[in-house]
Amino acid sequence: MMLRSPALPYRLPFCELHVHIEGTLEPHTVFALAQAKGIALPYDSVHQLQEAYRFTDLQSFLDVYYDNMKVLQTEDDFFELGAAYLRRAHGGGVAHAEIFVDPQAHSRRGIDEATVLTGLNRAIAAVGAETGISASLIVCIVRDEPVIEAERMLDRVLTTGVPITGLGLDSAEQGHPPELFAGVFDRARSAGMRLVAHAGEEGPPEYVWQALDVLGVERVDHGNRALEDRALVARLAAERIPLTMCPLSNLRLRVIDRLSDFPLLPALDAGLLVTINSDDPAYFGGYLDDNIRALVKTFALGSDELHALATNSVAASFLRESEKTRLGTGAGPSA
């Protein structure tokens, strides 16, 4: 099936596999919600808030990101957040999204898992009916909190009854190795969840090995630093383990100095199953289509490369085989 992707130069069915729903909270929405609820912000204007988006590393981003989340309080806030993202993603040519959410970032400030997940699940149903986009949820462990908090989060998520596709691992990477969370990942696997983890964004290749060997993940989120380790690259390629990479995020978090340093071509040449994603689009300057356009401009990508990236995104998704086939990869220049 050929899907219309008006914001891209080609009609391609892209899946977005690495987007944090809290990272789609736009600056004007932070302000609107804060004003409506009487929540004090440490900024006088949207412009001043955007000025704070000059990040030096992952932690400098996470500090602002977690603070802004205080404006998200009710089920309707999460519904609106999810609906706005899904409409924007659909407009940018996304056919299917697997959406990360950080329940611990909300429960630690008194917002329970059911409120968050029910609101997002309602958005998936509503915007799916409206536009045809499909989506599912992946709950992520906030890895810089104690392991017991991850255990409790999983317990509570499983009691909400909201369908959850997978478990992930995010937040501050350095000093918080994947192996700490082996027990939680084992329990999630037993509960039928699919497994992913952020690894090799700032952390060393050893964290990617642990994500594979100790957690048993099926996809690695980011994985840039895996490219430092030839044996690891060979393993990822041989087992077709996807890397969900995020170019504009890497640029804004100083993982790379310039977009031309984004390792797309070396990774593809090494036979890795790379997908392109937005991570936190409201903070990093763009949604999936913006990331693709930036790569097209930087690397002069043509239709073959775009077709490969779209094909990879469908292959790397957790959709059923029949759904992957239905999406297909009908490629070609749009009229």
Q: Which of 201, 206, 321, 323 is catalytic?
A: 201
The 277-316 contact track toward Zn ion, x by CB under 5 A, reads: --x-------------------------------------
Among 15, 17, 20, 154, binds ligand ADE (CB under 6 A): 20
The 230-269 contact track toward ligand ADE, x by CB under 6 A, reads: -------------------x--------------------
Alpha carbon distance 174, 166 (integer Å): 23
Alpha carbon distance 30, 49 (integer Å): 9
Q: Closest CB to ligand ADE among 90 and 198?
A: 198
Closest CA to 191 of 221, 225, 161, 146: 161
Residues whose CB is less than 8 angstroms from the CB of residue 96 and which lie 6 or more positions away in sequence, other chains included: 13, 15, 16, 133, 134, 135, 314, 317, 319, 323, 327
Among 16, 77, 113, 280, binds ligand ADE (CB under 6 A): 280
325 to each of 275, 321, 332, how far by Cα in Å? Answer: 18, 6, 17
Q: Among this protein's residues, is 179 annotated catalytic?
A: no
201 scored as a contact of ligand ADE (CB under 6 A): yes
Bridge partners, 244 (sequence order): 221, 275
Residues whose CB is less than 8 angstroms from the CB of residue 18 and which lie 6 or more positions away in sequence, other chains included: 100, 221, 222, 244, 245, 246, 275, 277, 278, 279
Long-range contacts of 261-265 (CB under 8 A, 24+ apart): 262/295, 262/298, 263/224, 263/227, 264/295, 264/299, 265/299
Choose the one of Zn ion, ligand ADE, none that binds residue 113, judging by a C-beta under 5 to 8 angstroms depending on kind. Answer: none
**Would you give the distance in Å from CA 61 to the centre of its chain?**
15
118 to each of 84, 159, 225, how far by Cα in Å? Answer: 16, 12, 36
176 scored as a contact of ligand ADE (CB under 6 A): no
Least distance from C-beta 322 to Zn ion, angstroms? 29
104 scored as a contact of ligand ADE (CB under 6 A): no
Alpha carbon distance 199, 213 (integer Å): 13
Q: Closest CB to ligand ADE among 134 and 244?
A: 244
Q: Closest CB to ligand ADE among 113 and 201?
A: 201
Least distance from C-beta 102 to ligand ADE, angstroms? 7
Residues 58-97 that bind ligand ADE (CB under 6 A): 58
23 scored as a contact of ligand ADE (CB under 6 A): yes
102 scored as a contact of Zn ion (CB under 5 A): no
Residues at the site binding ligand ADE, with contacts judged by CB under 6 A: 20, 23, 58, 170-171, 198, 201, 249, 279-280
Residues at the site binding Zn ion, with contacts judged by CB under 5 A: 279
Supply the residues annotated as catalytic: 201
